[in-house]
A and B are shown apart, each in its own frame.
Chain A
Amino acid sequence: MKIRIILRVLVCIAFISQGLKAQIKQVTIKGTVIDEGTKQPIPAVSLLTGTPSKAIGFSDGKGHFSVAIPAGTTVVFRYVGYQPYRLKVSADQLNLNVRLKELNQNMDEVVIRGYVARSKEVTTGASFSIKGEELKDIPVANIEALLQGKVPGLNIQNNTGAPGFRGTTQLRGLATLNVSNTGSETFLQPTSPLYVIDGIPIDADKASEMGYDLQGPGISPLSLIPQEDVENIEVLRDAQATALYGARAAYGVIIITTKRGHSEIPRVRYTNNFFVSTPPALRTTLGGNKERALKLAQIYGNALSFADIMEISRTPLLSDSLNSYFNNSTNWQAVFYRTTYNQTHNLAIDGGNQKFNYKANVGYFANKGILKNTGFSRYTLNMNAELRPNDRFRFTTFLSGGVGKQQKGDGLGFLQQGVAKSAQASSLLPGPSFYQSSGGVVSALETINDNATRNLRTSIDAEYSFLPGFKIMSTVNYTFSSDIEDTFTPAAANNQFSQVYGFNGRSNSLYNRNMLNYSATFNEKHSIYVSVANDINEQRGQNSAIRQVRTPNDQFQGPLGFDVLNSRGGGVLSYNRGRLASFWAAGSYDYMRKYILDLAYRIDGTSSSGLNDPFSKNPSIGLRWNFNKENWMSDIDWLNSGSIRVSWGKNITPTGSLASIYGKYNTGGSYNNQPSIGLDFGSIPNPNLKPKTKEMYNLGVDLNLFRGKIDLNFDAYFSEIKNELFSRNLSNTLGFGSFPSNETGMVNYGYEMYFAIRPLSDKSPFKLNLSFNGAWNNNILTRLPEGFNGQNIAFSGDASGQHTIFRVGRNTLSNYLLVNQGVFSVDGDVPVDPVTGLRYRTEGNFYRAGDPRIKDVNGDYIMDRNDYQITGNSQPLLTGGMSASLSYKGLGINIYASYTAKRTILNNALANRLGIMNDPFGRSDAGPKAVVSLPDVNMWRKPGDVAKYPYAYDYNRYSTIQPFRNDQTLWEEDGTYLKINNMTLFYSFPKKIVQRLGVNNLRFQMSVSNVITFSGYSGPNPESVTALGRDLSGGYPNSRDYIFGFNLDL
């Protein structure tokens, strides 16, 4: 029976194929391809046939196409960002109107893998794409800021509002335990993904590698890319996807593709944005007489002795209220903060056809900071041209240049400690005027700080197919960057001596990549792709600086020269030179695009790996199963596509420096009156130093359901970081101070989810897209060097005492703090030592009602360093975002939100706000300070109060038991927040109307960015915290921007 059926089927197939053969007849199909939404013609749409698909033609600038093909074949119309359209050609279909629909399922997307474009359907790695469209409405200095909440697994915190600076970026969790600086300014080494812009890898962390001790301008190369020029951004998340970017890809890879020329008729696009930046709500302070009254009440209520009362009459600020010098109500914050009006312009011209296309983009962006005397402006020119004289040869050039100018005032960009301090001045003091001004004001407002970063990226890309299936590709690129900072501090800002600081940094990078590819398909079922390649990269950089003090006067700002005696010094701050060389082979096999296997193996040599073995071997493997193509799935009509991906791979990122491998010579003292040069005993060289290695497992599921109405991606991953650089202190008997070891490691594991839905019918004039994404990441420290027994504490060197602790088996970055358990309500609540009868105390001071109840962990009834406990996790567990866009014809609204949850923030801002009451007399060096109104604070005020915060008004307690000491868990708060990043309302004029004006497209938009943050956090902004979760009161706040803009296409 069965055999009979099979035979019948076979016979049928044989007849059908004969029938097909009989029908073969060349027909010429003609027509236009238009966008279904905008009804705009789409140029350069590929028309493909066969398996593997082969291009048989393209649409022209007006979307027209004309090809001759055998009737009965299926033609696929394919264009990036659109759903491909399949059409079976019949002899009578000669004039066609093909409407392409924008892509909502990203299965058929073309992605870049290992510098080669491939269909997303046959890639085994985890990646996520964002279209440039989503990034155009909100003008930002750094395009990264707009990726926040859009990519699952990419944790971006826009934690500084300083124009031109970057926030922090982490892909799939923490990748370092390198912390530097101290206290609340403890800085986590940035571990940004590798950015590859049009095939050119760039180092986004370049400007921030020094931490808060920023040298030179803090302009990241990323800040010099105009957002209008971005076509597509792709984030590669797992080790298989990043396998071929090897030598620096351990933190993930983000590929930015800029726009190309598409249209035969040159297109001119102009974008203008005008935006208003407003400072956030500032600290509420009491002004004038209220301040004086509060300070007096504070003293009368809490004076320990009559001498304190007497001190009032010796403090004219408090007692001489009729003196016009002390009779003011100055809003100091208003002296420093402002609302600014800014604009951006971008002009892009592109054009071309299959054989030659070009693009030029000129951009101007300016953002004056909401802190006076700060700002960022950018001038960019990006060009590319592609020549494709025939199908076998392609030649592309890229040229982009950018100039970023920046003013940091007297701060460091991230940190504006000078302003933070000056803005806390007492409101009783007279504001700055022509006749008098405090040093802090002059310093913040009159310091002339000019930074410029000039960046040039050039690239040549050639591709030649010398035999069918074989392709040779070569890329050479050169980038150059120059960073200059000039700071002139006027005399009044620096104890009557003006000073200058000059910084000069240069860096360049030369990169070359050569690839040989072979791809072929056998029996229309088996496709293979093989490539061998190598790349070389050489980087050099040198930074130098000079500082001179006591320059002649404020008018003469240079050039200056000093003799050795009077010069404050200068010289080379840092020098780096590094080489990377990699060789790799990659292979890919797929069976009917159903089962896909990817293999890659690369050998990476870096000059910052130990000289004994500078090469590391990094294999990777990926498997994919497109299960919707299985026959037994074919009956499920709600499943459009579905696949499962599994991958494993290794990547590295060099972490060492030349000095850590080879050691360093340094000028020493003099020997026989001759200056000597000897070994630097700071760190002993380690010739076996290894680069940081990341090994990752990934399991992913992609589903596209109900004809593209629902898109669901799920990824689970486990990654292990090994050989993290860790500077181990050596015993003081060994001569050298420390040893760069590789003995630390950590793991990250988690889940990522992306869900998108278009609930409305396709026929509805309304279009609604909703998306939601989230990433849960767990981070665990797995290894510390032998001898540490699983724990190491990075003690903060400053008075804050906010230490960072690393403990194996726990989240890598934990706080080491005193445990606050509330406030002693009455004196009787203070525990008494049963042995000595003494009350609980610290440094000889007994606690009493109104003081913080700090847990006496070890039970000695003394609060001291034995009572520190490991607590908190400064890294968020959950990050993600959501978006909604609704449009009706040309009118629409987009809303983007992002969230971060389950992270510990240290609210140092509140500690600072409460602690400002410590000195009613204004005796400290900082001078008299403002007072804040505290009615909203749950503070102990009288015996019996059960409160959260200790009593702030007793100024005598600050020097004894330090109620607001920073190193207590009182400041640990949950930093969960949901932020509406931006909202845009846009209107595209109907084609008919604008075409009468000779315009192709005209779109107006109005947006608000940084709209609102929902959070239970009691500080100013749960996002404006450092990577270690510390809310710096001296940080640069984020502005809220109101944007009006239009796009004009000619």
Chain B
Amino acid sequence: MSWVLNNERLEKMNFNLNNNRIVFLLLFISPLAGCKKIFEVPAEKEYISNKISYSSKLFEPVLGRTALMGTFSADNSTQPLTFSIANARYGDGRPMTDLFKPKEVWVWTGAYDGKEKSLEEINSKRRKEVHPLFEVRSSGQFILWSSATDDLVAARKADSTNLIQDRRFFDVKVSNSGGEVIIKDMELKFWRERPYEPSTDLNPFTGKVAPHPGDPRNPNKRDYIRPSRLSNIIGKNTRKALVTDDNTKDVVVYIRPFSGGNGHSLRFKFLNKDSVAMNPALFNETKWDLLVHGFNRKSTAEYVQYDVAYPIPLINISTPYANSGKANVNFVYSRIGFGGARETGTLGLDFSIYREGDWEIVFHFRNDNPKFEDE
């Protein structure tokens, strides 16, 4: 048949694929390769919502404590976002600069778990870094470092006025490759430093002694820190259980610095009604080694002292020493009560101390001494 392929001919066939012909084919194909450009297909960009916001625009942190603030709602904007604080100013337009001074602070690098065996081990999990007192991180959370203290940053007025020229405002610039959104008029209103908690003995506006809650205008009366737990402690003279409430404060607590420490020590003291130091050993069932996460315990007839890492507690997790963001201490003793039953008296305090230093926590039996003796 004439049209059947002639093999010999095929072999001899000229395979000279002329370059021109290939170019001519490619010319037709290549435009489609660039069709994304030709047809103006939009390029991908990250998404930034114009509804991003913070749940609150006013922050009222306490100076001297590291605070992580701000609930940012990204509204599904593409993360990570870049945040920056802009236009920090007072209400009258003066620039606000005191907040952004760099200062050294402790930052965590490892996970503290309460099982560290020495101060060095704890400190190996954190290191000192220089940070501005106030900054924002990529999650949109604001950080007020504990380095922001009263002497660097002015807190709200002691007279509780809130004049516009004293108010601190700033804007937050949020951006990703999709664009930029500015959240305006965020406001900071600091409480002055209260280096420890509970701080019921301090007036948060002035930092001075707090007035008595029942009689606030009486300058001769004041408020105290009360122990968190007080049970089964019988007064030596009254033979009644000691009480701590708004009206009767048989036991009060002073959290105060002392001198002569090594700069990171914590001391527990007990004073009787004559303000004379009692021997801590009287609290005979106290687990002194598990009292605080401290080391090098020194027990004397006047106090018990530990080397500790500040702040106390170090972080907000449950450890044998702390719970719910407070260190827990309990001083326990037992005695034979009426009827021959053994009674356990407990005096406890949940506290935190934010400023590094030498601190003592003093329990003062103001009205009556506890009865340690058996009946």
Question: A: which residues have CB within 8 A of B?
Answer: 83, 85-86, 99, 637-638, 644, 697, 699, 701, 706-709, 714, 716-718, 720, 747, 749, 751, 761-763, 780, 782, 789-791, 793, 807-810, 827-828, 830, 832-839, 857-860, 866-870
Contact = CB atoms under 8 A, between A and B. Distances in A.
A749 B28 contact: no
Nearest to B126: A837
Contacts of B230: none
Contact of A793 (B76, B81, B107, B178): B76
B335 to A, nearest CB: 34
Contacts of B35: 697, 716, 718, 749
Nearest to B141: A860
13 contacts: A637-B9, A697-B35, A718-B39, A780-B36, A782-B41, A791-B76, A827-B111, A828-B111, A833-B108, A837-B315, A858-B138, A860-B139, A866-B74
Interface in B1-35: 1, 3-5, 7, 9-10, 13-15, 25, 28-29, 31-33, 35
Contact of B44 (A701, A810, A866): A810
A782 B42 contact: yes
A85 B3 contact: yes
B45 interface: yes
Contacts of B111: 827-828, 830, 832, 837, 839
Interface in B30-70: 31-33, 35-36, 39, 41-45, 47-50, 66, 68
Contacts of A828: 110-111
Interface of B: 1, 3-5, 7, 9-10, 13-15, 25, 28-29, 31-33, 35-36, 39, 41-45, 47-50, 66, 68, 74, 76, 78-81, 107-112, 125-126, 129, 137-141, 143, 178, 314-317
A789 B49 contact: yes
Given A808-B44, A809-B43, 16 more contacts: A644-B28, A718-B35, A749-B35, A791-B76, A808-B45, A836-B68, A836-B315, A836-B316, A837-B111, A837-B126, A838-B317, A857-B80, A858-B74, A858-B80, A859-B138, A869-B78
Residue among B14, B42, B74 with most chain A CB within 10 A:
B42
Given A827-B111, A869-B79, A706 B13 contact: yes
Nearest to A646: B28
B109 A832 contact: yes
Nearest to A87: B2
Contacts of A869: 78-79
A717 B29 CA distance: 10
A644 B24 CA distance: 11
Contacts of A868: 76
Nearest to A627: B24
A789 B36 CA distance: 21
A790 B47 contact: yes
Contacts of B3: 83, 85-86, 707
Contact of B79 (A782, A837, A867): A867
B75 to A, nearest CB: 10
A866 to B, nearest CB: 6
A751 B108 contact: no
Nearest to A793: B76
B78 A832 contact: no
A859 B29 contact: no
A860 B142 CA distance: 11
A832 B13 contact: no
A701 B78 contact: no
B177 to A, nearest CB: 11
Contacts of A838: 315-317
B41 A780 contact: yes
B108 A870 contact: no
Nearest to A763: B7
A839 B112 CA distance: 9
B29 A714 contact: yes
A113 B268 CA distance: 98
Nearest to B77: A791
B32 A699 contact: yes
A86 B2 CA distance: 10
Contacts of B28: 644, 699, 701
Contacts of B178: 789-790
Q: Which of A706, A780, A834, A870 has the most CB of B within 10 A?
A: A834
Which of B13, B25, B139, B141 has the largest count of A CB atoms less than 10 A from its CB?
A: B139
Contacts of A720: 39
A749 B32 contact: yes
A763 B1 CA distance: 12
Nearest to A788: B47
Contacts of B15: 638
A809 B42 contact: yes
A718 B108 contact: no
Given A749-B36, A780-B41, A858-B81, A701 B315 contact: no
Contact of A807 (B44, B143, B314, B317): B44
Q: Which of A86, A701, A833 has the most CB of B within 10 A?
A: A833
A832 B79 contact: no
A762 B2 CA distance: 13
Minimum-distance CB pairs A-B, first 8 = A860-B139, A809-B44, A837-B315, A716-B32, A791-B47, A837-B108, A834-B107, A859-B138
A747 B38 CA distance: 13
A691 to B, nearest CB: 21
A780 B242 CA distance: 76
Contacts of A761: 5, 7
A809 to B, nearest CB: 3
Contacts of B78: 791, 869-870
B184 to A, nearest CB: 19
A644 B110 CA distance: 67
Contacts of A870: 78
Contacts of A99: 1
A859 B72 CA distance: 12
Nearest to A84: B3
Contacts of B137: 835, 859-860
A638 B13 contact: yes
Contacts of B139: 858-860, 866
Nearest to B78: A870
B322 to A, nearest CB: 12
Contacts of B32: 699, 716-718, 749, 751
Contacts of A807: 44, 47
A728 B222 CA distance: 63
A858 B45 CA distance: 18
B4 A762 contact: yes
B371 to A, nearest CB: 39
Contact of B5 (A751, A762, A782, A808): A762
Given A747-B41, A830-B111, A835 B47 contact: no
A858 B79 contact: yes
B11 to A, nearest CB: 11
A99 B45 CA distance: 63
B103 to A, nearest CB: 15
A835 B42 contact: no
Nearest to A808: B42
A869 B46 CA distance: 11
B74 A789 contact: no
B50 A789 contact: yes
A644 B112 CA distance: 72
Contacts of A809: 41-45
B346 to A, nearest CB: 27
A869 B77 CA distance: 10
Nearest to B1: A99
A931 B66 CA distance: 48
Nearest to A718: B35
Contacts of A808: 42, 44-45
Nearest to B112: A837
Contacts of B129: 834
A701 B42 contact: no
A838 B108 CA distance: 9
B39 A834 contact: no
Contacts of A699: 28-29, 31-32
A706 B5 CA distance: 8
